Amino acid sequence: MSTSGRAKTVIVFQRGQNAEAVISSVIASVRTNAGKDRLCFTGVVGFEPKTREHIEKIILPLVERIFRHLHLEPDSYDLSVANPGAASAAEVPPTITGFSADVPVFLAFLAASLGLEAREDL
């Protein structure tokens, strides 16, 4: 059984000369038979290369250390962001940049592996 975890985040994207912010969700799904690939970025909403690298080198290893301290085998994940309706109408799909999604990504990884649901009102 594949489990997934969600955590809310904010996506800011350009619509013409204006910036728009929408609330969305980071979704981490546990991957079975992932092989050597610990993380796969999926979905329409992209992650900037520096942000991908940060998640792979900082956030994912932190989650793995927590699981090792709990004597649990770390999981592999598919990571995506729900594409909100307002963003899907944009000319260019939104891209996550910077480190503002660190906590939502971290929480989504934990929720997916532990089978927990993050509260939707947070």
Residue 85, SS3?
Answer: helix
The predicted pLDDT at position 113 comes to: 93
Residue-by-residue pLDDT tens, the chain, 122 positions: 468 999 988 877 766 788 777 888 999 999 987 677 889 999 888 888 999 999 999 999 999 999 999 999 889 999 999 876 655 555 666 777 778 889 999 999 999 999 887 666 65
Residue with tokens 């059984």: 1
Burial of 43 (0-12, 13-18, 19+ CB in 10 A): middle
Number of other CB atoms surrounding residue 110 within 10 Å: 17
